Structure 1
Amino acid sequence: MLTKRPSEEQAARTREPVLDTVDRVSELCFGLFMALTFVGTVSAATSGEDAGRKMLYTALGCNLAWGLADAVMYLVRTIADRSRRHALALAIKRERDQAAGVRALRERVSASLDPFISDTDLESIRKRIAESDSLPERARFERDDFLAALGIFIIIVLSTFPVAVPFVIFSHVPTALLVSRVLTLAMLFFCGFALGGYAGWTGWKGGLSMMTLGVLLTMAIIALGG
């Protein structure tokens, strides 16, 4: 029987997808909501022979813009979070007072985990940070950050097509709108099913919950003029 070497096991543990399930589902739902509310608002005012194509191009342009904005903001959020963690690590490395270093770590511990982490645990972490020689001079972007941003952009853009393409296929607007909404509900169910499995919930309950949430949220966005 073949066994992995320790270095291989460590590499397998450290390799993570650039976007986790929550990120992918959230961005897909965001793109669906943007396209659905836009299509629902504009479809009634769009008519003519090329109405379907105009609908697709306009919805695609909307999600191209929002996909770009969301990808850029992901990069901003990523470097801001990394810089904050880097500043904490530098402060701990330079701090001569061990108790002050432990207090700094304690302030960053989640309130839900705080009762389970002792000062001894934090001192062990503080000591490893203080003795580390691999701390960079400043926080930097990594290749996976840009891959994740690209993934966000692609997910949001692709989410346009199930919502808008029916208006190109069907010339009858009510039929196209019905097909568009059915496809959107199916994708929302899939998103909820995947998210439910990731969170340890029942898959079909997660799917139905996401469908319900999507309908209510879309109604609210349209009612508010979105």
Structure 2
Amino acid sequence: MANTPKTSIGAGTPAAPEGAEMREPVLDVVDRVSEMCFGLFMALTFVGAVASGTGGPNASRTMLHAALGCNLAWGLVDAVMFLVRTLAGRGQRLALALAVRNAKDRSVATALIRDALPRKMRSLVTETELEAVRARLAADPTLPARPRLNLGDLLASVRIFCIVVLTTFPVALPFVLVADVRQALLISRVLTLAMLFIAGWALGRYAGIGGWATGLGMMAGGAALTAAVIALGG
């Protein structure tokens, strides 16, 4: 699914809100692969469900409309929820920054910063480093009055929508080119598994855990889901 905004503060550096923070790429490899897999699984399960009750001469058209309609709807939902998560995460970081700035005691402020760190990093950061972060936050004049969305966030939501929707087309294309619904459904499922392998391979290469193993694992998960859909009547 969509990129979840980070709500913790990295070691030695504050997660400064809004314009004070250095923006990361709008969507990284993990985000793009997650959205691609989400679109594929949504199309796979929804098309399987529709296939169980579809027949007649217009079956292929119905399957095509089902796949595209499903992912248009969920692409929109996912894009909107990305904006909601982004705004909520930004508000949480701003609240932390204001709490640190307004703390009357330095030890309380540094404790707030330490609590915001990932659990495994808390023991790696010294009091001196925490105090340096506290001092920078206290002196930062750029804290906004409230969290806001910006153009980059809107572009990210558009990208999420496009990834989810465009992922559907290879899955839906067989229903346009092949008249036999069962054959088209088989080709669609094979294409879905191939795309899941590519997504897993890219994710494995990015994470440094092996492209082939991750690709095969992702494809195996897709095959298991496909088998479950078929067993349930899809």
Residue identity in the other structure for 1:50? N
Residue identity in the other structure for 2:220? T
Task: Give the Å deviation of 1:223.
Answer: 6.3
Equivalent residue number for residue 201 of structure 2: 193
Residue identity in the other structure for 1:81? G
Structure 2 stretches of 5 or more lacking a match? 1-21
Task: State which of 160, 166, 176 in structure 2 corresponds to 1:158.
Answer: 166
Equivalent residue number for residue 38 of structure 2: 30
Task: State which of 131, 134, 142 in structure 1 corresponds to 2:139.
Answer: 131
The 3-state SS of whatever aligns with 1:113 is helix
Change in Cα spacing, 1:85 to 1:218, as seen in structure 2 (3 Å) is: farther
Q: Is the 8 A contact 2:44 2:226 kept in 1?
A: yes
The 3-state SS of whatever aligns with 1:148 is helix
Mean Cα deviation higher: 211-220 or 166-175: 211-220
Task: State which of 172, 180, 191 in structure 2 corresponds to 1:172.
Answer: 180
1:59 aligns with 2:57: no
Residues 172-220 of structure 1, C-alpha deviations (whole Å, 9 max, x = no match): 1221112111110110011001100111111111110111122224445
In angstroms, what is the RMSD of aligned CA positions? 1.9
Q: TM-score of the superposition, structure 1-length normalised?
A: 0.88
Residues 38-59 of structure 1, C-alpha deviations (whole Å, 9 max, x = no match): 1122224322333212211122
Task: State which of 85, 110, 114 in structure 2 corresponds to 1:106.
Answer: 114
Q: TM-score of the superposition, structure 2-length normalised?
A: 0.85
Aligned residues: 213
Q: What fraction of aligned residue pairs are identical, expressed as a percent?
A: 57
2 CA distance for matches of 1:45 and 1:177?
Answer: 13
Equivalent residue number for residue 206 of structure 1: 214
2 CA distance for matches of 1:225 and 1:119?
Answer: 60
Change in Cα spacing, 1:73 to 1:223, as seen in structure 2 (3 Å) is: farther
Q: Is the 8 A contact 1:43 1:55 kept in 2?
A: yes
1:181 aligns with 2:186: no
Task: Give the Å deviation of 1:168.
Answer: 1.5
Structure 1 stretches of 5 or more lacking a match? 1-13
Q: Is the 8 A contact 1:93 1:130 kept in 2?
A: yes
Residue identity in the other structure for 2:27? L
Task: State which of 88, 96, 111 in structure 1 corresponds to 2:96.
Answer: 88
Q: Is the 8 A contact 2:48 2:229 kept in 1?
A: no
1 CA distance for matches of 2:99 and 2:49?
Answer: 52
Task: State which of 29, 32, 54 in structure 2 corresponds to 1:46.
Answer: 54
1:97 aligns with 2:105: yes
Equivalent residue number for residue 215 of structure 1: 223
